[in-house]
Amino acid sequence: MDLGIIAIGAAISVLTGIGAGISMGIATSKAVDAVARQPEAADKINSILLLGLALTEATAIYGFVTALVMIFTMK
């Protein structure tokens, strides 16, 4: 295959990191707002936030791994 097309595909798959970063920032912002409004619910909000951030980070990692697989196996 053409290496240029593989590079473009890998770059597009790495763009999942941008979406993950933006969504993690928004989620953290909303969690801080929620804790500021109801400090007594901080533990529950924190546990839900961490679960959501872990799932969001998994999306970015999948994109990165996909890019690596494309670069190193499609030649």
Domain of 65: which CATH number? 1.20.20.10
The structural domain count of the chain equals: 1
Sign of the Cα torsion 70, 72, 58, 27 reads: negative
Query: Which DSSP category does 74 fall into?
Result: -
pLDDT band at 74 (very low <50, low <70, confident <90, very high): confident
Q: What is the pTM of this model?
A: 0.79
CA atoms of 43 and 26, how far apart (whole Å): 19
Contact 38, 9 (CB under 8 A): no
Contact 49, 27 (CB under 8 A): yes
Residue 49: give the domain boundaries: 3-73
Q: Quick: pLDDT tens for 42-52.
A: 999 999 999 99
